[in-house]
Amino acid sequence: MDKENKVLIITGGHTEEALLSALIEQEEFQMVIAADSGLAIADRLELELDYIVGDFDSISEEVLLKYRRKSTPMDTYPREKDKTDTHIAVELALSHNATSILIAGATGSRMDHVMANIHLLLLPMQVGVSAAMIDTNNKIYLKNESFMLEKSKQYGDYVSLLPFTERVSGLTLKGFKYPLDHILLEAGSSLGTSNEIVEDIAEVEISDGILLVIEARD
């Protein structure tokens, strides 16, 4: 059995300190990466970091010097580049054989960044690595195969299943308030929004396509 290698990426969107503190306490991460302004919240919480990446245009020299003195590996990139800092961090996690990736700070007021970060979840999915974005109210991930959800472990009361690809075929839902039976879910449909788990175990079956899954607390 392969050794577990869970990676936490702290990036530059909105992250509440209470959420990040709870994640560090509850989960055992083998690697923690700060991407650009994600370093600011990591510094406030005095987190031990394994890698720091970014252009650092929004980080004070005082904070950067602090981590340089610790000899934390730090890769500095130009502000004008072809990949976002979060993209670079995801690729770094995958290059270190991550078995799962959790991204904090990937949501916020910049919807272009939020959408780009959601699309970055394709990179780990394509190589069989589970990945999710998390904030105080949402857990967001992609699925290209059937899966189950435990009611006792769900992130919030609501589960939305949206088509990430143009079509998701054979969608069947069991154990949900609104079950479905082998339907074709197409882009532009809101059918899968705000469902609820009503059994101990809920099943989501698909035959083709990619689902965007959002577990929401409000």
- At 170 the pLDDT is 97
Q: Is the pLDDT of residue 106 over 60?
A: yes
For residue 60, the model assigns a pLDDT of 87
Average pLDDT over residues 97-111: 95
pTM: 0.94
pLDDT at 193 over 70: yes
Phi and psi of 49, rounded to 5°? -110, 145
**174, two tokens:** 């069991």
Residue 47 has pLDDT above 80, yes or no: yes
Domains of the chain: 6-136 (3.40.50.10240), 147-216 (2.60.120.320)
For the chain, helix, strand, coil in percent to 5 are: 25, 35, 40
Residue 2 banded pLDDT, cuts 50, 70, 90: low
pLDDT at residue number 180? 97
Show the beta-strand stretches assigned E in 11-166.
Answer: 31-35, 51-54, 74-76, 100-104, 130-134, 138-143, 147-150, 158-163
